């Protein structure tokens, strides 16, 4: 957990005791197992409350600024829904071309502006390290909703919560990550997170989309069992979590290179026949064609449920950084 709080002024008394109050969420590396257990517990309570009452006033009067420099459906709308379900409100800047960014405003200045109006800022930006720059410029908490090919920590947290709820535990699982492991930021965060739970990690990718060597090195240094493959066939039978990713077209400079790998894998009913009975298939979405529609009705297909878990996790994170959990 980060050591220093950005918010030394404590207008509501006992917020001081709330872990994560006033903190930024930039990288999954900030989280210990203890933090994760805490997030799962809060997210679970959020789920119970949403099922029971729908919307409640935990963050009444608080404002979230959703600043998206890259396209998003689930992350932006689930953060907005999370804030509104907690009784707060949202300033949405999804089309930065209509904001002062189009006039050449810098990221630090945009962030300094938004924090005059909002209590917390969620940011997605195409450059690695941008969320950290935003956080350094702001007094209010900043949450990284994807910094280019870097990280997507809140996705990894919701992925972990999904595994926790679906399989009962994260301990000692075999996780197979399939697809674009180079540009897919969600697997960068998830591999790091799963390393806290003694996971065995299989990376299945075309040669040019392999998991970055620095991540493999980092996890090797922690004693994580990792193996790279070109096909999923040899590992599907031992997989507890099959985590499928889209080939990230927008990160390719050359369309021909993209075309050469875009259809590298399709998870279909045939592959699922070779998978365990008790396992799950996940995908951060959007799906292009890497999971066949015929898999959707398989009870092991968890990717639509995963989106709903995301709402509860993002409610938990907003409540935490605003000192209400
Ligand atoms: N929605 C995820 C992300 O923003 C995955 C993807 O775009 O493929 O990273």
- Residue 74 Cα to ligand 1 midpoint, Å, equals 9
Query: How far is the centre of ligand 1, averaged over its atoms, from the C-alpha of 67 (Å)?
Result: 16
Which residue, 28, 41, 24, 86, is CA-closest to 59?
86
Strands 200-204 and 174-178: parallel
Output the tens digit of pLDDT for each of the chain's 325 residues.
444 457 555 554 455 567 799 999 999 999 999 999 999 999 999 999 999 999 999 999 999 999 999 999 999 999 999 999 999 999 999 877 767 777 788 999 999 999 999 999 999 999 999 999 999 999 999 999 999 999 999 999 999 999 999 999 999 999 999 999 999 999 999 999 999 999 999 999 999 999 999 999 999 999 999 999 999 999 999 999 999 999 999 999 999 999 999 999 999 999 999 999 999 999 999 999 999 999 999 999 999 999 999 999 999 999 999 999 8
Nearest to 139 by CA among 43, 22, 253, 52: 22
Ligand 1 pocket residues where CB is under 6 Å: 146, 152, 185-186, 246, 248, 284-285
Q: In 3-state terms, what secondary structure has residue 294?
A: helix
Nearest CA to ligand 1 atom 2: 284
Question: What is the DSSP secondary-structure string of 81-127?
Answer: HHHHHTT-EEEEE--GGGSGGGGT--HHHHHHHHHHH-SEEEEEESS
Distance, CA 145 to ligand 1 centroid (Å)? 10
Nearest atom in ligand 1 to the alpha carbon of residue 185 is 9
Could you tell me the distance, in angstroms and rounded to a whole number, from the CA of residue 283 to the centre of ligand 1? Answer: 9
pLDDT value of position 102: 73
Q: How far apart are CA 300 and CA 297, in angstroms?
A: 8
Contact 12, 18 (CB under 8 A): no
Q: Whose CA is nearest to atom 8 of ligand 1?
A: 246
**To test ligand 1's pocket by mutation, which of 68, 72, 146, 149 has the most ligand atoms within 8 angstroms of CB?**
146
- Which ligand 1 atom lies nearest to the CA of residue 73? 1
Which tokens sit at 61? 């009067």
Spacing, Cα 260 to ligand 1 middle (Å)? 20
- Residue 180 CA: nearest ligand 1 atom is 8
DSSP state at residue 25: B
CA count, 13 A, side-chain hemisphere, 308: 10
Q: What is the pLDDT of residue 10?
A: 52
DSSP structure class, residue 30:
G
Atom of ligand 1 nearest to the CA of 145: 4
Give the residue, out of 153, 179, 184, 262, with the most ligand 1 atoms within 8 A of its beta carbon, to mutate for a pocket test: 184
Would you put residue 172 in left (φ > 0), alpha (ψ -120 to 50) or beta? left
How far is the centre of ligand 1, averaged over its atoms, from the C-alpha of 27 (Å)? 16
pLDDT at 123: 97
Ligand 1 centroid–CA 214 distance in Å is 21
Ligand 1 closest atom vs CA 152? 9
Ligand 1 centroid vs 291 CA: distance in angstroms? 15
Q: Which residue lies with its CA nearest to atom 4 of ligand 1?
A: 146
Question: What local confidence, expressed as pLDDT, does residue 7 receive?
Answer: 56
**Is beta strand 174-178 parallel, antiparallel or unpaired with respect to 241-244?**
parallel
pLDDT of 100: 79
Q: What is the pTM of this model?
A: 0.94
- Interaxial angle between packed helices 303-321 and 33-53, expressed in degrees from 0 to 180 and rounded to the nearest 10: 100
Kindly give the distance from the C-alpha atom of residue 77 to the centroid of ligand 1, in angstroms, as a whole number. Answer: 14
């Amino acid at each position: 957990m980060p050591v220093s709080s950005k918010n030394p002024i404590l207008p509501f008394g006992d917020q001081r005791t709330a872990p994560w109050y006033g903190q930024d969420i930039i990288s999954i590396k900030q989280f210990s197992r203890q933090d994760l257990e805490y997030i799962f517990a809060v997210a679970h309570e959020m789920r119970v409350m949403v099922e029971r009452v729908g919307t409640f006033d935990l963050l009444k009067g608080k404002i979230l600024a959703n600043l998206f420099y890259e396209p998003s459906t689930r992350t932006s709308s689930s953060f907005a829904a999370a804030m509104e379900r907690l009784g707060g409100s949202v300033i949405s800047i999804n089309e930065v071309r209509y904001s002062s960014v189009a006039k050449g405003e810098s990221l630090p200045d945009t962030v300094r502006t938004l924090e005059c109006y909002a209590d917390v800022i969620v940011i997605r930006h195409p450059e690695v390290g941008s969320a950290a720059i935003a956080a350094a410029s702001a007094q209010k908490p900043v949450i990284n909703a994807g910094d280019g090919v870097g990280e997507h920590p809140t996705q990894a947290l919701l992925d972990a919560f999904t595994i926790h709820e679906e399989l009962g535990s994260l301990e000692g699982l075999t996780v197979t990550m399939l697809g674009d492991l180079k540009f897919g930021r969600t697997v960068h965060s998830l591999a790091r997170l799963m390393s806290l739970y003694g996971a065995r990690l299989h990376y299945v990718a075309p040669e040019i989309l392999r998991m970055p060597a620095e991540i493999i090195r980092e996890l090797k240094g922690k004693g994580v069992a990792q193996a790279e493959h070109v096909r999923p066939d040899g590992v599907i039978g031992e997989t507890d979590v099959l985590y499928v990713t889209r080939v990230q077209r927008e990160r390719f400079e050359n369309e021909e290179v993209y075309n050469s790998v875009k259809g590298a894998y399709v998870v279909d009913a045939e592959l699922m026949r070779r998978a365990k009975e008790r396992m799950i298939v996940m995908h951060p979405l959007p799906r292009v064609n890497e999971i066949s529609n015929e898999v959707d009705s398989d009870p092991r297909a968890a990717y639509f449920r995963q989106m709903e878990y995301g709402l509860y996790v993002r409610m938990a994170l907003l409540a935490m950084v605003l000192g209400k959990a």
